[in-house]
A and B are shown apart, each in its own frame.
Chain A
Amino acid sequence: MEETPVDFLSIPVSTGTTILACAYRTGVVLAADSRTSTGAYVANRASDKITQICDNVWMCRSGSAADTQNVAAYVKRMVEEHAMERNGTGFRENESNDRAMMVDVRVVAKLTQKIAYENKEKLQAGMIIAGWDRVRGPQVYGIPLGGSMLEAPFSVSGSGSAYIYGYLDNTYKENMEREECEKWMTEAISLAIARDASSGGVIRLVTIHENGCEKQCVLPKDHKVCDGELEQVATTTTAMV
């Protein structure tokens, strides 16, 4: 066999995860799996890889947990201050009090990119910033290792992403509706989980649109049943032995 699939010294360190974000007609959907593995051991089977930055912008994180947590914390803090300055206290005409912490998605993305780029030697963080704002509507920005920033209709990252590039490229449609987009993304993550051993668990979805954001959790029994797999038995939480 010429190729060596597992050459530990030379493959780039990819993060055991599948994260995905996509813009649909009136908002964005972010999706992620929930498996954190150390070696072959699943350290956390229900981790939460989607973090809120402000009311209308969330971030998908992959890579070193410490790095992404701290970058997210910095970004969140700076964005909070920016929101205060820009939006005032929220008592404005045509703006409800609840939405005082809305910030332009591009601002958040640029800030994250700045941090990632300036510290590129130290950080191992692959992030996707996505959200909705009044200026430019739904937006998705991918910020991979190295600190570049790329806006795209959809962005995928993590070790599981390799398995679904073909599927995403083949089936992506512009201006999908919300349900359609959520279903498409659940299916994509299911397909990644089907082939990537470092991804698994529940599929978390966050949908951001003009009127707010909603979080969802899709259990394994509701994932798409992929080739070679069996239907998952209905869940129980009762003890077995």
Chain B
Amino acid sequence: MIPSRTSHSSSIGPGVVPRGADPAYDEEVKREYDLRKNIPHLGKGSKGRPFSIDPNVGVMTRTQTPYVTGTSVLAVKYKDGVLMACDTLACYGSTKRYKSIQRMKLVGKYTVVGFTGELSDFDYISTLLDELEMTDFCQDDECPRTPKEIYNYLVRVMYNRRNKFDPLWNSLVISGWDYVEKKPFLGCVGMIGQHYVDDHVATGFGNHLARPLFRESWKEEMTEQEAEKLLKSALLSCVMRDKQMMNKFQLSKITADGPGEISEPFAIDTRWGYENYVNPTKYAPGAW
């Protein structure tokens, strides 16, 4: 049986079709390869198939720089599910450019995926996830994909792109409810394919600001209120100290009851009313 090809462009390299399985595709690959045999700087007798983003332009291997980026995503497991929080800002370098971006996505019935990093790469990942969801729906076998399956899929996607020196510049947080084992699921995948599951995760700046708070205050079998309180205190820390974060957040909740819910944007109480902030350089004029 011929495995179905994923829909990524052939310019990112051959798909998952093994040689011999699809003769038409083999022909196509052979033709492309023949065309490139005479590239001068590859050297005589070079047998390697050069990597190319755009097969028509030439040989190019590069890692990108991110342009439009989202900052941290925080997530904690609690007794009945997983809560994930992130802000709604996408920065263009140091400019706060897009202020109403949803950085979390509902995937299927039991998963929510959030991202840090390049917005366009996550759009691409969204498309892949939508296709995954579509095939699952069409199979119609009364067992929707578990979050762990989606997590594993994303690990392979990220790692394979890394191997081609063309990473998807994202850190992803996959949260969901495993309806088979009747437990919450929470995992994290990075841009070079590094991945792990844990009770609480944070990406981006949250690694430095939120994780210590989680390590100290997270406990087994928290209620939803406790989890939300913990997340909000971590968000406070992040929004005060990360310049690329804004005070406009969305919270997503996924439980056994089915599709995740992403809340309306809300602001948290930030603390500014300290007396010492009014005239901080009173005894040190000229200081910052």
The interface-forming segment of A100-108, A118-126, A146-154, A190-198 is A190-198
Assess whether A209 is interfacial by the CB under 8 Å rule: no
B217 touches A241 (CB 8 A): yes
Pick from A36, A40, A234: contact of B205, CB below 8 A.
A40
Interface residues on A, range: 35 or more
Assess whether B23 is interfacial by the CB under 8 Å rule: no
How far is A15 from B22 in the complex, measured between Cα atoms in Å?
58
A41 touches B241 (CB 8 A): yes
Tell me the nearest residue of chain B to A46, going by C-beta. Answer: B277
Pick from A37, A44, A220: contact of B270, CB below 8 A.
A220
Binary flags per residue of B262-283, CB closer than 8 Å to A gives 1, else 0: 0001111111111011111100
Assess whether B54 is interfacial by the CB under 8 Å rule: no
How far is A195 from B243 in the complex, measured between Cα atoms in Å?
11
B positions within 8 Å CB-CB of A: 65, 67, 91-100, 205, 213, 217, 229-230, 232-233, 236, 240-244, 246-248, 265-274, 276-281, 285-288
How far is A36 from B281 in the complex, measured between Cα atoms in Å?
14
Pick from A40, A42, A48, A197: contact of B287, CB below 8 A.
A48
- CB A71 to nearest CB in B, in angstroms, measures 9
The interface-forming segment of A129-137, A181-189, A222-230 is A222-230
B272 touches A219 (CB 8 A): yes
- CB B120 to nearest CB in A, in angstroms, measures 10
How far is A220 from B98 in the complex, measured between Cα atoms in Å?
20
Binary flags per residue of A1-26, CB closer than 8 Å to B gives 1, else 0: 10011100000000010000000000
B285 touches A241 (CB 8 A): no
- CB B14 to nearest CB in A, in angstroms, measures 27
How far is A51 from B278 in the complex, measured between Cα atoms in Å?
14
B269 touches A51 (CB 8 A): no
How far is A72 from B287 in the complex, measured between Cα atoms in Å?
10
Tell me the nearest residue of chain A to B249, going by C-beta. Answer: A230
Assess whether A52 is interfacial by the CB under 8 Å rule: yes
A69 touches B273 (CB 8 A): no
- CB A228 to nearest CB in B, in angstroms, measures 3
Provide a sorted-by-A list of 12 A–B residue pairs whose CB atoms are within 8 angstroms. A6-B65, A36-B288, A41-B242, A41-B243, A163-B95, A198-B243, A228-B248, A232-B270, A233-B268, A236-B269, A237-B274, A240-B233
Residues of A150-181 whose CB lies within 8 A of B: 159, 163
A230 touches B247 (CB 8 A): yes
- Counting chain A CB atoms within 10 Å of each CB, the highest count among B92, B205, B213, B269 belongs to B269
B288 touches A42 (CB 8 A): no
How far is A222 from B243 in the complex, measured between Cα atoms in Å?
20
Given contacts A46-B280, A219-B273, contact A197 B288 (CB under 8 A): no
A positions within 8 Å CB-CB of B: 1, 4-6, 16, 34-37, 40-42, 44-49, 51-52, 65, 69, 72-73, 76, 159, 163, 194-198, 200-202, 215, 217, 219-221, 227-237, 240-241
Chief secondary structure at chain B's binding surface = loop
A44 touches B217 (CB 8 A): no
Given the complex, which residues of A lie within 8 Å of B247, measured CB to CB?
220, 229-230, 232
How far is A159 from B243 in the complex, measured between Cα atoms in Å?
13
Given the complex, which residues of B lie within 8 Å of A236, measured CB to CB?
269, 271, 273
- CB A87 to nearest CB in B, in angstroms, measures 21
A5 touches B248 (CB 8 A): no
A232 touches B267 (CB 8 A): yes
Given the complex, which residues of B lie within 8 Å of A16, measured CB to CB?
94, 243
Given contacts A42-B242, A51-B285, contact A5 B273 (CB under 8 A): no
How far is A200 from B243 in the complex, measured between Cα atoms in Å?
8
B93 touches A217 (CB 8 A): no
B243 touches A241 (CB 8 A): no
B267 touches A230 (CB 8 A): yes
A217 touches B95 (CB 8 A): no
A48 touches B243 (CB 8 A): no
Tell me the nearest residue of chain A to B94, going by C-beta. Answer: A197
How far is A36 from B277 in the complex, measured between Cα atoms in Å?
14
Q: Ordered nearest first, which 5 A-B pairs have the shortest CB separation? A: A228-B99, A6-B93, A46-B277, A241-B233, A230-B267
Given the complex, which residues of A lie within 8 Å of B248, measured CB to CB?
228-230
Given the complex, which residues of B lie within 8 Å of A1, measured CB to CB?
67
Given the complex, which residues of B lie within 8 Å of A217, measured CB to CB?
277-279
- CB B143 to nearest CB in A, in angstroms, measures 40
Tell me the nearest residue of chain B to A240, going by C-beta. Answer: B233
Tell me the nearest residue of chain A to B275, going by C-beta. Answer: A237
A5 touches B269 (CB 8 A): no
